[in-house]
Each structure stands twice: as C-alpha cells, then as structure tokens.
Chains A and B, each alone.
Chain A
C-alpha cells in the first residue's frame, strides 16, 4: 500500500475532470456535480489512509460522488435549484448503490470518455467569452482551484471566481445542452475548443518573473487536454496539429529561459537542451495529420515548429520552407501576428532588407498596436546598421510590453545595440 495523501493528489489530478464530466451528465447540474465530486474526495481523504487506494480510484470517486449527490437531492429536494437535479435523476432511474465498490463500475467507467468531450464543448461554448472558456475548462476539466487559476493568470481570485460563476449561470439560464456537437456543427465548435487549449498552453509557456512552477503546470495541463482531445476525436487533424505544436514548442522549454528567467531567442538556444523525445512525438503527429490532406492553421503552425526542430543549428534552418508555410498560414489566418512572423522568416531567408520591406507592407494601424511588430522591426533595423531607428522601435515595443521577462529582454537588446543611447 503506497502513501495515501500523495496518491490522493495524483488521483485528483487524473480523475477530477473525468468524474465531474460524468456527474454532470448523471445529475444534469454543474454545481451539484462539482460539490459531489469534492465531497467524494473528502471521503477518500478520510478513508483511504486506512483502507488503501481502491483498484479503480476514478470509478470509486464517481460512484461515491453520485451516491452522495443522490442523498443530498433527496434531503434537499424541496429547494428549487435541487428540483431539476432530482427530476433528472428520476428520469434516468438512477438508484444509489449501497457500496460503491459493489456497483456496476465497468458500465459507469465505460461511458466516461464521451462525457469529457461533452464537458469540453460545454466549457468552450461559443456563447461564452474567451476568458470564461479558459477559466471554466481549467476548473471543471483540469480540476484546478479558483485560487490556482488566478495565480497562474496573474488575475485577482475574485475576478476568476466571478468569471466562473457567471459562465455557469449563463449556460444554465440559457438551457445549454450537455452534448457533443454534430458533424455539421463541428467546423464552428472545434476551433473554439482548440483556441481555449492553446490559450492555456501559451499562458503557461510565457516566461515571467513570478510563479514559474504554476505556469509550467498550465502547459502540462494544456498538453493533457490536447492529448485527451486527440484520443477522443482521432479523426480531427487540427486537434492533432495543435497537440503536435504544443509538444514541439514544449520541447524547447528547458532552453528558452536562463536561470534568472530571462528569455533566450530561438536562434541563441542551446539545442542540445531540446527534448528529443517530445520532438520525435511531435514530428510523428505532424506527418500523420498532414497525410490526411485537410491542412488548417494548427497543422501549418506545427509544421513550422517541426522545421525549426529539424535544424541542428539556427543557421541550418530551412527558411525557404518556413516562408512557404507562413504564406499558407497567412492565407488561412490573415492577421498581423502571422504577418510579422512571416517577415522574420523572409529576413532570415533573403536578408534584413527584404524583411523590413515585408513589415512596411503591413496594415499600419494593426501593426502599430502589436509589440512584436516593433520588436521585430528594431532587430532588422539594427541588423541593417540603422541603430537610432532601431532604438526608437525598441522603445515602442517596450511601451507595449506587460511581461517583465520580455521587457528585460527588449531593454537588453536596445542597450546592446545603442550603448548609452
């Protein structure tokens, strides 16, 4: 028998989202499901140190949570907000088992994968704001506490709490269904889920001076959700593309910051510190999804990351292929961020002059508000020997930066090119 408290935390991380997903279907109510799962984990914390962890802890938690919820509904069924759940349970003809471990665990576990997919689409409903989708996904599927989400996003806890309460209320007031979108709806619904997972990953991947550890957790959670989605929707190449992109990006985690949290640009990274296993897995996924012949923005971005990962040194990068991929990406996702990244590739391929020309061709208004545009322009100006203009561009970039690690990097670049300037 292993150490129960440690096991409990591991079970929680692995099973909380899964159990909540099933309980929402069984109970027809998100809040009731959350309460029941929390209660079941409390029972486990009390019991498992004596009895040991059951063989199928997830099923044990789910069954215990269901039974607790049924007891509670019976006790409190006069209250309005419990009536719906009682009705739902009655319709489903669910009766509590006397002993969770004697219940029909296999049947209960079998339906679970679909439930997590339902929950993913519910949390990422397009009627919610992007922020609310991310918070709700982390809370319900990731099992993160409100306080943890707040810390990871550097947002006050009350803000996250309100975001989650509001989102849950909106879904309930609007009679949002707990179902997987039909094939006809998927082209609209799946990109919303992918965007939310990507947001979680990007937030975790962005270096900051603060809570490094919590943020790394976010990247791990995003990859877990990405894997789950691919497992549940293996025929969606864009889901595979997003997972590949996250793995290939995460492979550079150890090389992209120095000990004090400063950013190391791709060209200067110690490539021996890239995680070869993640790169290999990412490569396999890119090849697998591109073979389907249904390219999309996530697959193209993954392909770009794969070309970078292929190069033994920055100089050996196949920039012409990267420019070609950015041309494709720009065609399906025309925005300033993609256009600036394309200009960077053009500069590497054809020289700083060509890169600056590409930047000058962009829509001024959108470009001016984007920090990356000014930072890139500064680099290319400096490379062309136009130091004063470069310093001015770095100042513009600095004024638009909120991330301390990024600011430190930009200031360092500016001062290195224009010492004392």
Chain B
C-alpha cells in the first residue's frame, strides 16, 4: 500500500463566514465521500483549511526565525484542504481523486508520498 496526498484547490481565497449557496450541497457530498473513504479503509487523514489569509510563514534566519503574515506563495490558486489516503496503486488513487473532485466540485491534485 502506498500513501497519496489528495489536495483540493480553489481559484481564489474563500470566506467561511459567507460560503455561498453551493456550500451546503458540497459539504454533504464531501461528507459522503469521507464516509466512503473510511469504509474502504483508505482514509488516513484529511480536513478543510481556514482561508489562506489566516496563514503565517516562519522561516529560518541566522539560527533564529522570522515571521511574515499571509501565505508562502502569493498565488491566485490556493489549497483549501486535503486528504491523505492509502491506495494499492496510482489507478486506485486516481479513482479516489475522481470521486473527491466530483464531491468538492473542484480540482484535486494527486501526489505520492516518499518511501515504499
């Protein structure tokens, strides 16, 4: 069994205070997907993230660290959440990504973890 990161991407930062009309439907879909993952024994970990505006970056500087407000990369696309799954091979991982992408109605990136 290999582990894969399935990350969910958004075109722009979202506002959890005002999630929009689609939110209840998507939340229910994701809930069902999570149950399916767990039922199949493929769930390792997962969750949604607060908006990228909530992020802080800490980086090393001469043995100390410096901190900056905001996300590491000022990109238009941001990661909104992820799953870590266990799957026998790439095809199985891509099948979970397909279901996850339909559930959250957004693109999902699949990346294998290092190691066997």
Contacts and interface: CB of A to CB of B under 8 A. Distances in A.
Interface of A: 125-127, 171, 173-177, 181, 185
Nearest to B87: A175
A80 to B, nearest CB: 11
Interface residues on B, range: 10 to 19
B2 interface: yes
A299 to B, nearest CB: 27
Contacts of B90: 125, 127, 171, 174-177
A174 B93 CA distance: 9
Per DSSP, chain A at the interface is loop
A124 to B, nearest CB: 13
Interface string B62-76: 000000000000000
Closest 4 CB pairs of A and B: A177-B89, A174-B90, A176-B90, A175-B2
A185 B4 CA distance: 21
Interface string B27-38: 000000000000
B102 interface: no
Nearest to A126: B94
A175 B94 contact: no
Nearest to A176: B90
Contacts of B89: 175-177
A185 B112 contact: no
Contacts, number: 26
A189 to B, nearest CB: 9
A171 B91 CA distance: 11
Contacts of A176: 89-91
Interface of B: 2, 4, 88-91, 93-94, 110, 112
Contacts of B112: 173-175
A125 B94 CA distance: 11
15 contacts: A125-B90, A127-B90, A171-B90, A173-B112, A174-B93, A174-B110, A174-B112, A175-B88, A175-B89, A176-B89, A176-B91, A177-B88, A177-B89, A177-B90, A181-B91
Nearest to A87: B116
Given A175-B88, A177-B88, A185-B91, 6 more contacts: A126-B94, A127-B90, A127-B110, A174-B93, A175-B2, A176-B91
Contacts of A177: 88-91
A185 B112 CA distance: 21
A127 B89 CA distance: 13
A175 B93 CA distance: 10
A174 B89 CA distance: 7
Nearest to B94: A127
B16 to A, nearest CB: 32
Contacts of B110: 127, 174
Contacts of A173: 112
B103 to A, nearest CB: 19
A223 B61 CA distance: 60
Contacts of A126: 94
A175 B90 CA distance: 6
A383 to B, nearest CB: 47
A74 to B, nearest CB: 21
Nearest to A121: B91
Contacts of A127: 90, 94, 110
A177 B4 CA distance: 15
A136 to B, nearest CB: 15
A105 B18 CA distance: 69
Contacts of A171: 90
A127 B90 CA distance: 9
A173 B2 CA distance: 10
Specify which of A127, A174, A177, A185 lies most central, judged by the most chain B CB atoms within 10 Å of its CB.
Answer: A174
